[in-house]
Structure 1
Amino acid sequence: MTAAGFSAAAPDAALAALFVPLESSELRLPADGRVLFLRARAGVRLREMAQPGWLCEQGFMPFADELARNGLRVGEPAADEVFPLVLVLPPRQRDEARALFARALVHTAPGGTVLAAMPNAEGAKSGEADLARLAGAVQHQSKHKCRVFWSTPDAAGIDRALLAEWLSLDAPRAIVDGYVSRPGLFAWNRIDRASALLAAHLPDDLHGRVADLGAGCGYLASQVIARCPNVSTIDLYEAEARALEPARINLARAQRECGRELAVAVHWHDVTRGLSRRYDAIVSNPPFHQGRADLPELGRAFIVTAAEALQPNGRLFIVANRHLPYEAILAARFRDVRTLVTQEGFKVIEAVGVKP
């Protein structure tokens, strides 16, 4: 487990299934050793198989850090870089997955192969059908309650119009109330109810330097700008790299609409590793799960980081599911803790004054 509580190193079933065609000799590793792995996850089998020519792309910082600690090369391919084998662990969200399949084809060398794996319960058949629509003939195997499927597309068989359409699915897009987001982010196509509840209970006297921890596409930070005229600086911290561009767009709009400029920065960062700056106030809708598993230690880790980053009389405002046991850690770290509202299964808590 990392400090964040994410089980970043634990291989899941899809990762295990991904290598089955290579283990059974249905497919072979490229002679030149060059492989691109999109949405890569660390695991024992990956460490055993990976070679220096492998490039692992992972936008979620705790998972990217774990790949790097395993000695794997982590980064993004150049726009025109192609590989004889592209591995993919597609997400469950279909627009995000389709965009990822399209990117995989863009980075597949002529005669190369795209190899993907998905859990059966998370849209594996749909994923296979989507790759077939885009690339042509697809083969598959089943293992570990997952479907692993691959295509070695002929350039003439690729649907170029569909490729362009699916590549565009990952672009930030308008959702509601003027905000933009992108598929696959948390609550990506709506304003999250918990964040909206917290925003509605933010006092207008917040001032100075403010941070938003686990900022997503920047909704809470935008609300701080709109509601708190004495805030001069706001920093967003978010572990998912795909959220950063929408966040910058939303913050720029918030500043235009309020008619003032602030010192604004958006950081790709794992909050649980601590912050290097001090703040007068922090707002957060902290994550509390990985996949379908509740991990309340994530929220507690956010609270610890917030306490360590606040000025002695700083203020923390968080929202959480009502059942999450945050009160003990808040009481241990802050002098005054009070629940501002409990509504629709959520609670908004204010904590003031960091204990020495």
Structure 2
Amino acid sequence: MSNDPVLNTLFLPLAEGAIDWPANGPALFLRARTGDVLDDISRDRLVYEQSFKPAHDALMRAGFHMHEGHASAELTLVLPPRQREEGRALLARAIQETAKGGIVMAAVSNNEGAKTIEGDLKALTGNISSQSKNKCRVFWATVDDRADTALLAEWLKLDAPRKIVEGRFTSRPGLFAWDHIDAGSKLLADHLPRTFKGKVADLGAGFGYLSDEVLTQNPGITHLDAIEAEGRAVEMAKLNLATHGDRATVHWLDATKALSDTYDAIVSNPPFHVSDRADRHDVGKAFITSAANALTSGGQLWIVANRHLPYEETLEASFKHVTVAAQNNFYKVFKAVGPKVTR
């Protein structure tokens, strides 16, 4: 496991004795992820909640258990997301999940708005303590009668699904391009064939825009698998693709891993940011490899990417024919046909 400054900072008050582990039951860890700091922590001390499939799978492999939503926790740990509405809703939920007299503790890197999010927790609870290390801040508050119950109720609603694009889709804060149609996805959708037939997959389907376009424009498709790693997006995609009935199925899966089915065509707008702001070329490259291994011998991959992302080499290594089907100043749409795979 790699070093994780935010995760290390989150557990600092526990390691130094400023905060005690709960005497009754495990701590709850919202938006949890694994890291070296968890290696020596007893698996019965934490239960986790994580909607991102790769992080969820890593926690399971490490021997931790999912939160089953039973008793309130005496200690709730949080790794808040960047998006403000989603982050505020998660802090409010952490308070709601914590027993009276218990503690909510969160950590954020300084360059991701640590002081601002610390201020949000203080606004909800009426009290705050904090510590700084590793260019991060860890801050905690006691859940008691000082809490602003009106603000808590208001912020709990911030993650609620809502209609976007003049009511065409349902989405929620924190998802990729959550309140509009992403320009890259739109460019891809505008240049896709209207002749797809058979079984199709959408890798990294988000809230379902691209899947909806493909199904609407291609009556010859018998079935589409919308594959998405973020569980919060999966919930939205199921709502948005419900009008297509049994022609569409939404799966909570990590598309960087081998796919279990075979497809006549695959479309994708892969993510290239995961848990930080750094480009992640490896995610898109893994999508390409997964697609090549899941396509029929003459199958097609249609993929859009920011112009600066180095996907051409992986595409050329994985497919017999690769062309640029469309491009503008920001994006390229690639058409790749005939995977170089021996089945």
TM-score category of the 2 structures, normalised to the smaller one: over 0.9
- CA shift, 1:77, in A, is 3.5
- CA shift, 1:247, in A, is 0.8
Counterpart-to-counterpart distance in 2, 1:219 and 1:10? 34
Cα deviation, 1:153-191, whole Å, max 9, x if unaligned, reads 21x322222222212211221222422221111122221
1:276 partnered with 2:257? no
1:176 equivalent in structure 2: 165
1:232 and 1:262 in contact (8 A); partners too: no
1:63 partnered with 2:55? yes
2:152 equivalent in structure 1: 163
Length, aligned pairs only? 339
2:22 equivalent in structure 1: 30
2:277 equivalent in structure 1: 292
Counterpart-to-counterpart distance in 2, 1:176 and 1:61? 27
What is the identity, as a one-letter code, of the residue corresponding to 2:310?
Answer: P
1:327 partnered with 2:312? yes
Q: Which TM-score applies when normalising by structure 1? A: 0.91
What is the identity, as a one-letter code, of the residue corresponding to 1:278?
Answer: T
1:220 equivalent in structure 2: 210
What is the identity, as a one-letter code, of the residue corresponding to 1:348?
Answer: V
1:76 partnered with 2:67? yes
Counterpart-to-counterpart distance in 2, 1:129 and 1:147? 12
2:229 and 2:253 in contact (8 A); partners too: yes
Counterpart-to-counterpart distance in 2, 1:328 and 1:140? 47
2:323 corresponds to which of 332, 338, 347? 338
- Structure 1 residues 77 and 133, CA, compared in 2 at 3 Å: closer, same or farther? farther
- CA shift, 1:295, in A, is 2.3
Root-mean-square deviation over aligned CA pairs: 1.6
What is the identity, as a one-letter code, of the residue corresponding to 2:251?
Answer: H
1:135 partnered with 2:125? yes
Q: Secondary structure at the match of 1:272?
A: coil
1:208 partnered with 2:213? no
Q: Secondary structure at the match of 2:106?
A: strand
Cα deviation, 1:203-227, whole Å, max 9, x if unaligned, reads 1111111100011111100111221
Equivalent positions of 1:344-355 (< 5 A) are 344-355=329-340
Equivalent positions of 1:84-95 (< 5 A) are 84-95=74-85
Which has the larger displacement, 103-112 or 44-53? 44-53
1:258 equivalent in structure 2: none
Counterpart-to-counterpart distance in 1, 2:329 and 2:310? 17
- Structure 1 residues 183 and 164, CA, compared in 2 at 3 Å: closer, same or farther? same
The unaligned stretches of length 5 or more in structure 2 are none
The unaligned stretches of length 5 or more in structure 1 are 1-8, 256-260
Q: Secondary structure at the match of 2:241?
A: helix
Q: Secondary structure at the match of 1:271?
A: coil
1:194 corresponds to which of 155, 164, 184? 184
Q: Which TM-score applies when normalising by structure 2? A: 0.94
2:28 and 2:67 in contact (8 A); partners too: no
Which has the larger displacement, 124-133 or 208-217? 124-133
- CA shift, 1:135, in A, is 1.5
Equivalent positions of 1:242-321 (< 5 A) are 242-253=232-243, 255=244, 261-290=245-274, 291-321=276-306
